[in-house]
Structure 1
Amino acid sequence: MSTDFILETRDLTKEFKGFVAVDKVNLKVRRGSIHALIGPNGAGKTTVFNLLTKFLTPTRGTIHYNGQDITHEKSAQIARRGIVRSFQISAVFPHLSVRDNVRVALQRKLGTTFHFWRSEKSLDVLNGRAMELLETVDLQSFADATTVELPYGRKRALEIATTLALEPEMMLLDEPTQGMGHEDVGRVANAIKRVSANRTVLMVEHNLSVVSHICDTITVLQRGSVLAEGPYEQVSRDPRVLEAYMGTEHA
């Protein structure tokens, strides 16, 4: 495996009682890039994510990360390697402040994650780093707000900040702009672009405008198989992609 690629799958396959959800997917994610998985509903995108983060076990094939075979490792081992994932459903603490959500994520560094008897002031040493992360996703002015009061797009930006708090080498973002208005989409896309410095991002995304503006490489899935791959300019002109992803009237 080339050191240019941080993640590589070889003939990755997942079957469910005879139904092939992911079919011999060979994926190469270049280190330091933003790589998107796109495709119509049911194409296998989230299943690929679940295989990479070991929520599912491959039926066949292998997964390699930094040149090491991680196919049979558990989810916790994958996370310790520096692969951190966000989900389609918002996963923040709604009744904590925005700053405290980030501090909870940072707390792992202190080794006090389960020390519930400690004073909240013990987390004050994390305030500086928490504010740095909030600034990265343009949330510094919301630090004291209760998270439940944030607009949806700001909550998704907060998720990116809490993901960054775990210092991932590779971030897997599942539909980061789903359900957002135009302004929020632009804000979150810009945040992803900013946080991609010095790390790799693999994202499932339906919004082609986001994909075209921030992604280096696009992999198009259809019925569990790779249909096309390359930069957006190349992929967006592929007649097979236009038919599969946008409908036959665009072909």
Structure 2
Amino acid sequence: MTTDTIIQTRGLTKRFGGFAAVNGVDLDVARHSLHALIGPNGAGKTTVFNLVSKFLAPSEGTITYNGQDITREKPAQVARRGMVRSFQISAIFPRMTVAENVRIALQRPTGFSFSFWRGEKVLTALEDRVDELLTSVGLIEWRNRTATELSYGRKRALEFATTLALDPELMLLDEPMAGLGQEDVHRISDLIRQIRPNRTILMVEHNLAVVADLADRITVLARGEVLAEGDYESIAANDAVIEAYIGGDID
């Protein structure tokens, strides 16, 4: 594993009974890159993602993060290392305000995560950073509205703000465009582009136009194995990849 690689898997395998959902996957994610996992339905993308983020334990293989073996670690342990993931379904506190959602995430590094009884002065010290994060995701006008009032696209933006509040070194984005209309897709794409500097992003995404626009490197999975890897141009010209997408043009 080189210093330019932030996360690496070797022989990553996950079996459910006699079925190998992931079989011998080798993955190298370069530091400060956006690496996309794509593939047809049932290719094993989500399983790989859950293995890397430690929501599943592998049957075989190893996972290394910043040179440290994290194969048997729990999600909370890797989160403390600086690896934070999002989910297909937006994970926010719907009855809290937009600002309160971000403030709770900011409280974690201070040690006040569960100190809800603390005086208001302690919490107001975080307000500048709350507003900075909300401005960065285009939600400052909504700061005092409850999260449940947001459109689905804006809820996704709020989730980005809470993720950024944890100051992750590696962001794992699970289908960030799922369920979004075209306008929101453009908004979230612009947001991802904005937050990329000095971070690494590993993303599972079905929207190939988004992948073409954002990804530095792409790993294509099929039947739980790596089918191809490279930049979008080489992937789009790969006959095996086109065949995996049922003979269609992946442009």
Report the equivalent of 1:125.
Answer: 125
Partner of 1:248: 247
| AA in 1 matched with 2:221 | L
Of 8-17 and 126-135, the range deviating more from structure 2: 126-135
1:13 and 1:60 in contact (8 A); partners too = yes
Residue 28 of structure 1 corresponds to which residue in structure 2?
28
Counterpart in the other structure of 2:230? 230
Paired with 1:111 and 1:250, the residues of 2 have a C-alpha distance of 51
Q: List gaps (5 residues or longer) in structure 1.
A: none
Shift of 1:214: 0.9
Deviation, 1:220, is 0.6
SS in structure 1 of the partner of residue 21 of structure 2: strand
Letter in 1 for 2:93: F
**Corresponding residue SS for 2:126:** helix
**Is 2:48 aligned against 1:48?**
yes
Once the two structures are superposed, residues 163-213 of structure 1 have per-residue CA deviations (whole angstroms, 9 ceiling, x without a partner) of: 011110000000101010000001001111111111100000001111111
**Which structure 2 residues correspond to residues 189-200 of structure 1 after superposition, within 5 A?**
189-200=189-200
**1:86–1:174 CA contact under 8 A, matched in 2:** yes
Superposition deviation, residue 145 in structure 1: 2.0
2:144 & 2:48 partners in 1: Cα distance? 37
Aligned to 2:57: 57
2:242 is matched by which residue type in structure 1?
A: L
Letter in 1 for 2:247: T
Of stretches 83-92 and 236-245 in structure 1, the one that deviates more from structure 2 is 236-245
Give the corresponding residue for 2:168: 168
Q: Which amino acid aligns with 1:192?
A: I
Q: Provide Cα deviations, 1:67-103, integer angstroms capped at 9, x if missing partner.
A: 1111111221111110001111110111111111100
Counterpart code for 2:107? Q
Aligned with 2:64: secondary structure? Answer: strand
Other-structure match for 2:219: 219
- In 1, distance between residues paired with 2:212 and 2:131? 30
Q: Which residue of 2 aligns with 1:179?
A: 179
Give the equivalent residue in structure 2 for 1:103: 103
Normalised by the length of structure 2, the TM-score is: 0.96
* TM-score calculated relative to the size of structure 1: 0.96
Q: How far apart are the structure 2 equivalents of 1:89 and 1:76?
A: 19
Report Cα offsets for 1:34-86 as digits up to 9, x if no partner.
01001111111111111112111111110011111111112211111100011
Inter-CA distance 177–249: structure 2 relative to 1 (3 Å threshold): closer
Indicate conservation of the 8 Å contact 1:243/1:250, yes or no.
Answer: no
Q: 1:27 to 1:196 in 2, by over 3 A?
A: same
| Cα distance in 2 between the residues matched to 1:197 and 1:101 | 24
Cα distance, 1:121 vs. partner?
4.7
Query: Per the alignment, in what secondary structure is the counterpart of residue 234 of structure 2?
Result: helix
